[in-house]
Amino acid sequence: MPLFPQLYNFAHWLTQDRGEAEDLVQETFAKALNGFSSFQSGTNFRAWMYRILRNTFLTSRTGLRSAPTVSLDAEEDEGPELAVERDTPETILMARCDSEMLQTAIAALPVHHREIFLLCEVEEMSYQEIAETLSIPIGTVMSRLSRARRTLREYLQRRMQGEKVAVGNERGMNYGV
Amino acid sequence: MACESLKGKLDTYLDGELPEQEMRTLDGHVRSCASCSSDALGKLQMKRAIQVAGKRFTPSAEFRKRIEQTIAPKRRSFVFGSLRPNWLLAVAAVALVAFALFIARNASDRSAGQQAFSEIADLHVGTLASSSPVDVISTDRHTVKPWFQGKIPFSFNLPDLQNTEFSLLGGRLTYLDQTPGAQLIYDYRKHHISVFVFQERSLPASLRESFLPPKQLPFNMETWARDGLRYFVIGDASKDEIDRLAALFKS
Taking an 8 Å cut-off on Cβ atoms, the answer to whether A94 and B49 are in contact is yes
- Mean of all residue pLDDT scores within chain A: 78
Interface-testing mutation among B43, B45, B46, with chain A (most A C-beta atoms within 10 A): B46
Domain match, A135 and A58 both: no
Domain match, A97 and A171 both: yes
CA–CA dist A158, A177 (Å, integer):
29
* DSSP labels, chain A: -TTHHHHHHHHHHHH--HHHHHHHHHHHHHHHHHTGGGSPTTS-HHHHHHHHHHHHHHTSHHHHHH-PPPPHHHHS---------SS-HHHHHHHHT-HHHHHHHHHHS-HHHHHHHHHHHTS---HHHHHHHHT--HHHHHHHHHHHHHHHHHHHHHHHHHHHHHHHHHHHHHHH-
Domain match, A92 and A58 both: no
pTM summary value? 0.53
Domain match, A94 and A167 both: yes
- Domain CATH code at residue A33: 1.10.1740.10
CB A99 within 8 A of CB B49: yes
Q: What is the CATH number of domain B81-250?
A: 3.30.200.100
Q: Does residue A75 belong to any structural domain of this protein? A: no
pLDDT value at A169 more than 50: yes
CA–CA dist A87, A19 (Å, integer):
40
Buried b (16+ CB within 10 A) or exposed e, B124-136: bbebbbeebbbbb
| pLDDT per residue as tens digits for the range B159-203 | 988 888 898 988 998 888 778 899 999 988 878 899 999 988 887
Taking an 8 Å cut-off on Cβ atoms, the answer to whether B56 and A124 are in contact is no
CA of A173, closest CA in chain B: separation in Å? 34
Chain A positions touching B42 (Cβ under 8 A) are: 84, 88, 90-91, 94
Q: Does residue A73 belong to any structural domain of this protein? A: no
Domain span at A95:
87-177
Q: Please count the structural domains in chain A.
A: 2
| pLDDT per residue as tens digits for the range A67-104 | 555 554 455 555 544 444 455 666 666 555 577 888 99
Which pLDDT score, from 0 to 100, does residue A142 have? 94
Domain match, A92 and A146 both: yes
Q: Which amino acid is at B248?
A: L
Which pLDDT score, from 0 to 100, does residue A84 have? 45
Interface-testing mutation among A18, A118, A122, with chain B (most B C-beta atoms within 10 A): A122
pLDDT value at B128 more than 90: no
The average pLDDT across B41-48 equals 86
Chain B positions touching A95 (Cβ under 8 A) are: none
**Closest by Cβ to A26, choosing from B49, B54, B70:** B70
Domain match, A32 and A97 both: no
Instruction: Give the end of a domain, one of A68, A98, A124.
Output: A68
CB A75 within 8 A of CB A143: yes
Q: Does residue A114 belong to any structural domain of this protein? A: yes
Phi, psi of B183 (to 5 degrees): -120, 125
Domain match, A24 and A60 both: yes
Domain match, A92 and A122 both: yes
Domain match, A130 and A177 both: yes
Which pLDDT score, from 0 to 100, does residue A24 have? 92
The average pLDDT across B49-78 equals 79
pLDDT value at A21 more than 80: yes
Q: Does residue A49 belong to any structural domain of this protein? A: yes
Phi, psi of B152 (to 5 degrees): -130, 150
Beta carbon pairs, A and B, within 8 Å: 132
Number of Cβ atoms within 10 Å of the Cβ of B33: 17
- Domain CATH code at residue A173: 1.10.10.10
**Closest by Cβ to B56, choosing from A43, A45, A103:** A103
Please list, in sequence order, all residues whose beta carbon lies within 8 angstroms of the beta carbon of residue A84, skipping any fewer than 6 positions away: B7, B39, B42
Angle subtended at Cα A169 by Cα A168 and Cα A172, rounded to the nearest 5 degrees: 90
**Closest by Cβ to B139, choosing from A8, A44, A122:** A44
Chain A positions touching B83 (Cβ under 8 A) are: 41
Q: Does residue A78 belong to any structural domain of this protein? A: no
